[in-house]
Chain A
Amino acid sequence: MNEDAYSFEHPRIEFHYEFRSISAEKEVQKVVSFTLTDVSDVYNLALLDVLPDGRTSDMTETKNKDMILVLATVIQIIIDFFSKNPGVYVLIQGSDTKRQRLYQILINREWSLIKKQFEVLGGNGLHLENFETNRTYEYFIISKIQTDER
């Protein structure tokens, strides 16, 4: 097979979840996407809002006064994703410093709940360590705690 061939791209491997955030003021379509990265078995988590005109917005910008409910839903989605994809890792990273800080605040706030379900590493550059609530991280990598490890 030494024939010329067209170059091609392979499709992204992506798991896609949706839910609606509902308040007295508005309804917002939320999208949670897990996309396989270049590192095998490591998925990137993307949180997005779909605006009424079809454009997407970072979830942290569309304030619907239900952040705790949204976070609880996202945690349930992550649990569901891990149950369908055991043994994988998920990278969580804000697209800028402000959003990363918000993720950090949310993880800190819900840490007592999160640590029962997940192992969380905090990362700064090349350094990865056990997540500590009093430290600042550039990104997080999480895995699901296996039942027999609890």
Chain B
Amino acid sequence: MKDNERNIQERRIVSQYQAVQKKLDQANETLKPFTKEQIREAFEKARSQKRDKAHL
């Protein structure tokens, strides 16, 4: 591989890793107040509201 191609490849790996990590940090901040159980319950509640609405 030529030096230029290798540099681009390395830049890509680093840049991609950092971009995903930045978004992951943001996601963890957003999800901080929640547990998996609370999210599962929120979906259950939403499902039940949808069913109630459909019956009206």
Q: List chain A positions with a Cβ less than 8 A from chain B.
A: 12, 14, 31, 33, 35, 37-42, 44, 46, 48, 50, 52-56, 89, 91, 93, 95, 119, 121, 123, 126, 128-130, 138-139, 141, 143, 149
B15, A39: Cβ atoms closer than 8 Å: no
Chain B facing A: main interface SS: helix
B20, A46: Cβ atoms closer than 8 Å: yes
Task: Return the contact of B15 from the options A33, A56, A91 (Cβ within 8 A).
Answer: A56
- Over the window 1-12 of chain B, the binary record of Cβ atoms lying under 8 Å from chain A Cβ atoms (1 yes, 0 no) is 000000111111
A141 CA to B39 CA in the complex, in Å? 9
A89, B11: Cβ atoms closer than 8 Å: no
Task: Return the contact of A54 from the options B10, B26, B27, B49 (Cβ within 8 A).
Answer: B10
A121, B43: Cβ atoms closer than 8 Å: yes
Closest to B24 in A: A35
Chain A facing B: main interface SS: strand
Given contacts A38-B28, A41-B36, contact A130 B23 (CB under 8 A): no
Q: Pull 28 A–B residue pairs with CB atoms less than 8 Å apart, ordered by A.
A: A12-B21, A31-B16, A33-B20, A35-B27, A37-B24, A37-B28, A38-B31, A39-B34, A39-B39, A40-B36, A41-B36, A42-B36, A44-B27, A46-B20, A46-B23, A48-B19, A50-B15, A55-B12, A56-B19, A93-B23, A93-B27, A95-B22, A95-B23, A119-B43, A126-B33, A128-B42, A130-B50, A138-B30
Interfacial residues of chain B within 28-50, with CB under 8 A of chain A in the complex: 28, 30-36, 39, 42-43, 46-47, 49-50
A96 CA to B33 CA in the complex, in Å? 20
A93, B33: Cβ atoms closer than 8 Å: no
Residues from chain B with a CB closer than 8 A to the CB of A52 are 8
Known: A35-B23, A39-B39, A44-B23. 15 other contacts (CB 8 A): A31-B16, A38-B31, A38-B32, A39-B36, A46-B23, A48-B19, A48-B20, A54-B10, A54-B12, A89-B43, A91-B27, A95-B26, A119-B47, A121-B46, A128-B46
